[in-house]
Homo-oligomer: A and B are copies of this chain.
Amino acid sequence: MTPDEFRALGHQLIEWVAAYRERLPDLPVMSPAQPGDVRRHFASAPPEHGVPLEGLLPQLDAAVLPGITHWNHPGFFAYFPSNSALPSVLADLVAAGLGVQGMSWQTSPAATELEEVAMEWLRQLVGLPPTFSGVIQDTASTATLVALLCARERTTGHGQGRGGLQGETAPLTVYASEMAHSSVEKAALLAGLGRDNLRLLPTDDAHALRPDALEEALRTDVEAGRRPCAIVATVGSTGTTAIDPVARIGEIARAHGAWLHVDAAMAGTAMACPELRWMWEGVEQADSVVWNPHKWLGIGFDCTAYHVRDPDHLVRVMATDPSYLRTAQDGAVKNYRDWGIALGRRFRSLKVWFVLSALGVEGIRAEVRRHLALARWLAEQIDATPGWERLAPVPLQTVAFRHSPSGLEAAALDAHNLALARAINASGKAYLTPAVVKGAQILRVSIGATGTTAGDVTALWARLRDTAATLAARR
């Protein structure tokens, strides 16, 4: 493809993306595709000879687009908001065009130094103390694995340089709430610590980790000769945005010499608002903090912010120093390859720069406050309406609730709410994801798409009531 051919098709695709964003409200939020619907449009073997790419555009529209679940749709209330703001799209175009590799400083100094700037901006945005240094990771799952690996190596005094976990005698243990994200369990298992050494602890009525349960678990393990390695505090759990008491957990972690990892994957963006920072009060005690600018801030996936108090420790755990990666500047610069698992690194800081510049700190705060108000409004409607039951506080933008018509047993109630969610999703007008919290099937409405207005939330609430009534009448 020549630069001129790139120009021609590039201009077409800029128009295609703009038109896609404009007609988003008219598309079904959740893809109506059935398994195999997309795949069958493609040849089973790669083409023997190259074809002009313009020829792919009809296939993009006919095969790919109907298979897209539209995360930027105003009716997207599922999982978590993952806004890919248009400035982020443009930054990705520039990053792809430059095609750089940011593994070492020398392999593109701009990739490293703009990432330093970006992580410093993000640190200030959410009010983390200047004692933290940051790096972009792909996902919170990966960052949490990195955190537990660093915790493991701190507890064992860098046992990886000797026999690894195979050279230890007393088992290392990890603690989190039963509402912690599944990536905590995954990280503990991948780190080799074993499920037997993972404590998923009971929570209070607001679904937050109970410090007394944590202390008791620690005491039991210490008495049994095990070694507390890491505690994960969640700020904004996935199911209900529950908020663990970070300050108290931090004290407990310090008393036991355990690593404190704060998982604020969802809540991080909200920390841009000073009035919300009570949610992670005590975060300065953390050894590592993860949050996702690719959730809710408008920076396109993937962009996870990982801040640590001791970058030297992180580098010691992650670094290798083969001769073919040595450069003349080593020692004087950061080589971000040593700050995570992957060696190669994309130029993700470009999108942080573009989005923070386009929105400004005040713009980000205004958007967070707007979404929080929409969530509060929905919570108020649920509280005021007989037959509906809110199942958790709403400190952020997620409302956890269910329809509880009288006379239904637990199993029927669960089935009713699951059917309700599936009917809403099948409508194409809104998309929400159900979850099970403490054994009960709940509905989750997670508000945060850029295009979501008060009208969209009002319409969702009306649709929920209508659909629930229809389903109830059918029994």
Contacts and interface: CB of A to CB of B under 8 A. Distances in A.
Contact of A14 (B14, B124, B145, B350): B14
Contact of A18 (B6, B21, B141): B6
Contact of A186 (B101, B139, B191, B320): B320
Interface string A455-467: 0000000000000
Contact of A6 (B49, B86, B116, B190): B86
Contact of A124 (B45, B124, B320): B45
A445 to B, nearest CB: 13
A165 interface: yes
A160 B190 contact: yes
A17 B21 contact: no
Nearest to A329: B35
Contact of A100 (B71, B105, B193): B71
A149 B14 CA distance: 42
Given A162-B195, A301-B344, 4 more contacts: A35-B329, A39-B116, A68-B111, A166-B171
Given A88-B96, A363-B49, A6 B21 contact: yes
B46 A361 contact: yes
A14 B18 contact: no
B46 A125 contact: yes
B86 A101 contact: no
| Most chain B beta carbons < 10 A, residue from A31, A67, A68, A164 | A164
B160 A194 contact: yes
B96 A93 contact: yes
Contact of A166 (B122, B165, B320, B321): B165
B124 A101 contact: no
Given A45-B124, A99-B72, A159 B194 contact: yes
Closest 10 CB pairs between A and B? A164-B194, A84-B99, A67-B110, A192-B192, A17-B97, A323-B436, A10-B14, A92-B96, A38-B113, A50-B360
A83 interface: yes
Interface string A151-179: 01000000111111111100110000000
A187 B30 CA distance: 38
A193 B171 CA distance: 15
6 contacts: A46-B125, A47-B357, A71-B101, A99-B301, A323-B437, A341-B341
A287 B257 CA distance: 40
A3 B302 CA distance: 22
Interface residues of A, number: 160
A5 B71 CA distance: 21
Interface in A410-452: 422, 433-437, 444
Given A141-B343, A344-B301, A363-B50, A108 B31 contact: yes
Nearest to A103: B79
Contacts of A38: 109-110, 113-114
Contact of A60 (B94, B140, B165, B341): B94
A53 interface: yes
A28 interface: no
A317 to B, nearest CB: 8
A108 B30 CA distance: 8
Contact of A94 (B16, B160, B164, B197): B16
Contact of A39 (B11, B100, B117, B167): B117
A263 interface: no
Contacts of A7: 14-15, 18
Given A100-B69, A100-B71, A113 B163 contact: no
A197 B164 contact: yes
B300 A46 contact: no
Contact of A109 (B33, B105, B181): B33
A353 B56 contact: yes
A392 interface: no
Nearest to A59: B353
A121 B122 CA distance: 40
Contacts of A141: 341-344
